[in-house]
Structure formats: structure tokens, C-alpha cells
Amino acid sequence: MQTSNAFPHSLRAVIFDMDGLLIDTEKHLVRCWCQAAQEMGFDMQRRHALHIRSLAGKYAAPYLKSELGEDFDYFRVRERRKELVAQALAEYGLERKKGALELLKWLKEKGIRTAVATATDEERATRYLTEIGVLSYLDRVVCATMVENGKPMPDVYLYACRQLGERPQDCLALEDSPNGVLSAWRAGCGVVMVPDLTQPDEEIRPILTGLAPDLSAVIPLIEQMGQ
């Protein structure tokens, strides 16, 4: 487990989260989690949905049971949430986050490899990334379904590093949620947080390599840190 938040000495790759970072979907996920649970009689609030951003089901399910009752059916509620999110995306479309394409083009020009490490399954991740026009700029798409433990455990980032053929200490992760930040940090990557729905808290802030208001601001951050 990494104990340093230093910027990579030799930046070889940048690994992106997807929801809330490349795509503006977290607002739909949070709202639809609450709606799906409430439809089934559970008083799920925004704070619960924020807590489980990027959190693997094996960790999210017991957390929600502890908060909402032992009869909370995580997988049934999640299926309904998926339906509601699909409806929202059909209505509003997928929105690419500010600076995403600019940053990916810049990294490609610099010869820095790129990957996505997401909690979303491979079929939807590939479809979403294609729809927002960034898939061709990515060297790898890695999903939590490909590893034993999802975020906040380090597996998905370690696997992404192996797929890229790079050491974690030579990779920079970009994340918007605390669970994602912890996953990347535990893998040994430097982590820049680009907040979406929440700012870093007292637990997360000390382990960050950097903080950026949007993805376009990551470019000067990388230049300033030594790339």
C-alpha cells in the first residue's frame, strides 16, 4: 500500500475514472439510487448515495443494510436504479465533462499512455466512452468486473497498470470520489482529485497528489509538477 502522495518521478500513464470524471453521470446515479430505493419503501437519502459512489457491490450492500435495514435488497434496488438511469440518459443524453477531450488529446501528443478504471461493466463503459467520443484516445478500458475486488480496494488500478505495462508509481490517477481516490492511492498511484458532487474531506485531502477544478486544469498541474 502506498504511503506517499508524491507526483510520479517519470509520468508514463494517466488512468481515468469514468462516471463523474469523464462523463457527467453521477448526478443521475445519485438521484436514481434514492428514487429506486424509495419506490421499494427504503428511506435512502442523498448522503447514502454519495457514500457508495464507485463502491463495489460487495461493500455497498452491507453498508446500505446497516443504514437502511437488513431487509434492504441491494441487487433488486440496483436493477431498478439501472432502469431509471437508462431513462434519464435517454432523455438528457451523455454529457462529456469539461476538459476531457482536451486533456486526452494533450496526453496523446505527449506520448503518455491512458486507461479508464471504472466500476461500470465493460459493455456500458465501452458504449458510453464511444458515445462521448473519447474511446479512440484510450489505450485500455478496465472494469471492476475484471478483478476480484472493486473500489476502494486497489485491484482495478493495479490491473490497469499491468494492462498498460507500467509501474503504479509511474502512473497518475484522476478521480472524483473518495472511494476512487482510495483505490488508486492504495495501488501506489499518485492521485489528482477532480471533484464532482463533493469536495475532498479530511481523510482524503492528505493523500492527494493534487486537486483540480476540472480536467482542463490537469494539464498545467502536470506541467507544474514536472512533466
Q: How far apart are CA 42 and CA 61, in angstroms?
A: 14
Could you say which of 19, 24, 155, 176 is catalytic?
Answer: 19
Phi, psi of 188 (to 5 degrees): 105, 10
Is residue 17 part of the annotated active site? The answer reads yes
Q: How many other CB atoms sit within 10 Å of the CB of residue 24?
A: 18
Is residue 43 part of the annotated active site? The answer reads no
Burial class (CB in 10 A: 0-12, 13-18, 19+), 139: middle
Kindly state the cell numbers that stand for 41.
Answer: 419503501
* Enzyme catalytic residues: 17, 19
